[in-house]
C-alpha cells in the first residue's frame, strides 16, 4: 500500500460517517475534509476552537476519495475546507472544481508567492523536500550534487526510486519540465530508468533501506521518511539511518525540489468565512510549528520554528517555482514516464 494511503479511512466509513453528518450542519462550525492523517492534528483543531469559538468537524479519507465525494455532494456538500498533500493532488482537486478562489491579505502576507495558487484556489502550509540519499562509502558527494546527476551514466545500476504512479515522482518530473522543457526532462527520465538498480518497488522508506542494504548506492525519497528512521525506537531503523547520508540537491542553482501539504476553501462551502479564517489560522506561527512537527516537515512561513533535527541541517536553498506549475505539468510528466518505460 502506498505510504500516503496507510492511514486513510476506507470508503465505506466515509460514506456512513453519521457522526460527522450530524455535526456538520451546526452553525459556527468549519467542516474539514482531510487527507492528512496525524493524530496530533487534533490539538491543532482544538487550539483553533479555543481561539475562535468555531468548532472543527473533521472527515478523513484518501485524497481521491474526498475529491469524488465533494463532487457527488455538489452544492449540498457540507465541506468547507479540503486538506491534502502534494501539488499534483491539489491540482486534481482544482480540475474537478473543488476549490473556490480566496482573497486574503493575511495569507498573501504570510505565505511566500511559491506557496500560493495564482488565483487563491489553494495554499501550501507545510513543505516536504524530495531529497537524494546515498552510501557515503560508494558515492562521492562532490560529484552527485543535483537531480540531473541521477541520469549520469556513471551511476548505471545504482539508483533506487519509486514507481511512476507515485505522485511525489510525478511532481519531481513536473519540476524538471518546468525548468528544462519537456524534451530535456524526458531525456533525464530515460537516464534515470537506465540507471535503476532494480525495477521500482515499495515506498520511500524502502528506497532508503535499499541504500543501507547495498541493493543500490543512491535513492530518492522525501526527507521526513529519513527522519522517521532516525527518530524510530527500532534499533534496525536507526541502523539504516546511520548507514545513509542525505543531500539536498541543486544548491548551486535553483535549489532542492519542494512539495506541499496544502488546503483550499471548497467551492460551495456553507461556512465560507469560517473556512477562510481556518486557513488564515494555519498560516499563524503556532499552527505552522505544529503542522511541521507532526510529520517532521518544514514550515512555510519564514521564521516559524522547525523540529530540532531539521534545525540541525541548517539553511539550504529550496526551489521557488510556484507549486501550481507542478500540477499543471502533471499530465505531461505521466506521458513521459510511459514513453521511457518508467514502471
pLDDT at 178: 98
How many CA atoms are closer than 13 Å to the CA of 98, on its beta-carbon side?
A: 27
Find residue 260's DSSP bridge partners.
127
What does 142-175 look like in DSSP terms, one character per residue? TT--SSGGGG-GGGTT-EE---TT-HHHHHHHHH
Domain boundaries 3-127+258-314, corresponding CATH code: 3.40.190.10
Q: Are 64 and 92 in contact (CB under 8 A)?
A: yes
Domain 129-256+327-340 top-level CATH class:
alpha beta
For the chain, what percent of residues have pLDDT higher than 90? Answer: 87
CA 236/CA 216 separation, integer angstroms = 18
Is beta strand 298-299 parallel, antiparallel or unpaired with respect to 123-134?
Answer: antiparallel
pLDDT on residue 36: 85
Query: Cell 501539488 maps to which residue?
Result: 87
Distance CA 34, CA 286 (A): 20
Radius of gyration, alpha carbons of the chain? 20
| Per-residue model confidence as pLDDT tens digits over 149-197 | 999 999 999 999 999 999 999 999 999 999 999 999 999 999 999 999 9
| 8 A C-beta contact, residue 248 and residue 129 | yes
Q: What is the mean pLDDT of residues 110-126?
A: 96
pLDDT band at 27 (very low <50, low <70, confident <90, very high): low
Indicate where the chain has its CATH 3.40.190.10 domain(s). Answer: 3-127+258-314, 129-256+327-340
Confidence of residue 255 (pLDDT cuts 50, 70, 90): very high
pLDDT per position as a tens digit, 98-111: 999 999 999 999 99
CB environment 294-330: b (16+ within 10 A), e (fewer): bbbbbbbbeebebbeebeeeeeeebbebbbbbbbbbb
Could you read off the pLDDT of 36-83 as tens digits, one per residue? 877 778 889 999 999 999 999 999 999 999 999 999 999 999 999 999
Question: What are 144-156's pLDDT values in tens digits?
Answer: 999 999 999 999 9
Which tens digits make up the pLDDT trace of 315-341? 999 999 999 999 999 999 999 999 999
Counting every residue, how long is the chain?
343
User: Rounded mean pLDDT of 209-231?
Assistant: 97
Amino acid at each position: 500500500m502506498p505510504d500516503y494511503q496507510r492511514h486513510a479511512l476506507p470508503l465505506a466509513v466515509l460514506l456512513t460517517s453519521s457522526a460527522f453528518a450530524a455535526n456538520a450542519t451546526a452553525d459556527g462550525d468549519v467542516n474539514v475534509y482531510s487527507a492528512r492523517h496525524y493524530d496530533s492534528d487534533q490539538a491543532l483543531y482544538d487550539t483553533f476552537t479555543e481561539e475562535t469559538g468555531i468548532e472543527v468537524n473533521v472527515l478523513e479519507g484518501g485524497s481521491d476519495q474526498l475529491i469524488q465525494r465533494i463532487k457527488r455532494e455538489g452544492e449540498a456538500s457540507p465541506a468547507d475546507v479540503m486538506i491534502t498533500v502534494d501539488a499534483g493532488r491539489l491540482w486534481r482537486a482544482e480540475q474537478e472544481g473543488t476549490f473556490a478562489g480566496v482573497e486574503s491579505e493575511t495569507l498573501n502576507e504570510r505565505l511566500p508567492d511559491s506557496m500560493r495558487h495564482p488565483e487563491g484556489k489553494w495554499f501550501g502550509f507545510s513543505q516536504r523536500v524530495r531529497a537524494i540519499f546515498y552510501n557515503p562509502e560508494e558515492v562521492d558527494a562532490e560529484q552527485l550534487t543535483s537531480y540531473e546527476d541521477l541520469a549520469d551514466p556513471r551511476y548505471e545500476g545504482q539508483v533506487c526510486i519509486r514507481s511512476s504512479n507515485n505522485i511525489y515522482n510525478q511532481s519531481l518530473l513536473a519540476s524538471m519540465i518546468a525548468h528544462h522543457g519537456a524534451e530535456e526532462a524526458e531525456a533525464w527520465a530515460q537516464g534515470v530508468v537506465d540507471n535503476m538498480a532494480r525495477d521500482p518497488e515499495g515506498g520511500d522508506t524502502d528506497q532508503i533501506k535499499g541504500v543501507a542494504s547495498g541493493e543500490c548506492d543512491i535513492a530518492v525519497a522525501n526527507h521526513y521518511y529519513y527522519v522517521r528512521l532516525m527518530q524510530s525506537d527500532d534499533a534496525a531503523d536507526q541502523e539504516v539511518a546511520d548507514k545513509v547520508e542525505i543531500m539536498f540537491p541543486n544548491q548551486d542553482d535553483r535549489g532542492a525540489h519542494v512539495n506541499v501539504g496544502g488546503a483550499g476553501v471548497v467551492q460551495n462551502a456553507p461556512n465560507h468565512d469560517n473556512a477562510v479564517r481556518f486557513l488564515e489560522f494555519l498560516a499563524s506561527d503556532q499552527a505552522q510549528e505544529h503542522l511541521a512537527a507532526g510529520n517532521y516537515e518544514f514550515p512555510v512561513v519564514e521564521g516559524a520554528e522547525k523540529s530540532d533535527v531539521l534545525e540541525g541541517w541548517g539553511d539550504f536553498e529550496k526551489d521557488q517555482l510556484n507549486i501550481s506549475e507542478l500540477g499543471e505539468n502533471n499530465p505531461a510528466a505521466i506521458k513521459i514516464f510511459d514513453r521511457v518505460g518508467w514502471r
